Amino acid sequence: MSGETVRWVDSHCHLFAGAETPGTLLDRAAAAGVAWLMCPGIDLETSLQSRLIAGDYPDRVIWAAGLHPHDATNWADQGARLSALITEADAIGECGLDYYRDLSPRPVQRIVFREQLELAGSLGKPIIIHCRDAFTDIYEDLETAGLGEKAILHSWTGGPKWTKRFAALGVTFSFAGMVTYPTADTVRRAAAVAPPERCMVETDTPYLSPQAHRDLPNEPAFVPLIGGVLADVWGMDIAQAAATTLATACRVFGFGDE
Ligand SMILES: [Zn+2]
């Protein structure tokens, strides 16, 4: 790697939910070469926590406000305050559809997802999307919304076919620890057909620890383990994969813009 500095971005980590304080997690992330981090909320309370953390580390952490599909029924209570908070946030999310766990009724999930997509369109902000067993409906809504690379499919697990279809919409993919699991060949085949210049790396801290640390809570310092697998899949060296995914995160999220 000829001595150049390798710098990564963690495009999705819930720093408020980590096993340790954000400060400790950020120290270890810095030592691992993680330059910037995106901290998305999952509801009103955690979106406010994300704003606080980003305020404490303005040169390293940006934040997003949104309502997770599991809690979509809370939009009735939280929607107005979340919509106001979203106008201040760097991005919207995480939001989306989860037809695997179905913790909120699907029609409610859909309405609340569309509300947040509309805000993304009207405010011109990136939106972080959770998609579990809901590819058809997310595809339909993103095709209508036309957000291009500002639509970020987080912790992407779609197979190669869906990856190609979504790639044709110009979306951004974010790959998490699953890509390191021996059983997750589908995710690696998805990464292989995703355009590297439209991809980011995330930990989804504290969930989905990469294979080498599956016994531990996940943390941003593990980003290079996930990025290393992407580098293999893309036939790049580590520095090239880090630079490519960092450039995507900077473009889509505006890291480093003052
Ligand atoms: Zn998440």
Query: So where are the chain's domains?
Result: 8-253
Helix, coil or strand: residue 202: coil
Run of H or E residues at 173: strand 172-175
Run of H or E residues at 244: helix 238-253
Q: Which residue has the tokens 């981090």?
A: 37
Grade residue 146 by pLDDT with cuts at 50, 70 and 90: very high
Distance, CA 1 to ligand 1 centroid (Å)?
32
- How high is the mean pLDDT of the chain? 96
Listed residue (51, 49, 138) closest to 90, CA to CA:
51
Distance, CA 204 to ligand 1 centroid (Å)?
5
Distance, CA 217 to ligand 1 centroid (Å)?
14
> Residue length, the chain?
258
Distance, CA 180 to ligand 1 centroid (Å)?
17
CATH superfamily of 8-253: Metal-dependent hydrolases (3.20.20.140)
Q: Is the pLDDT of residue 42 over 70?
A: yes
State the pTM of this model. Answer: 0.96
Distance, CA 184 to ligand 1 centroid (Å)?
19
For 5, which DSSP code?
P
Distance, CA 15 to ligand 1 centroid (Å)?
10
Residues in the 5 Å CB sphere of ion ligand 1: 204
Peptide bond into 206 cis (omega under 30): yes
Grade residue 255 by pLDDT with cuts at 50, 70 and 90: confident
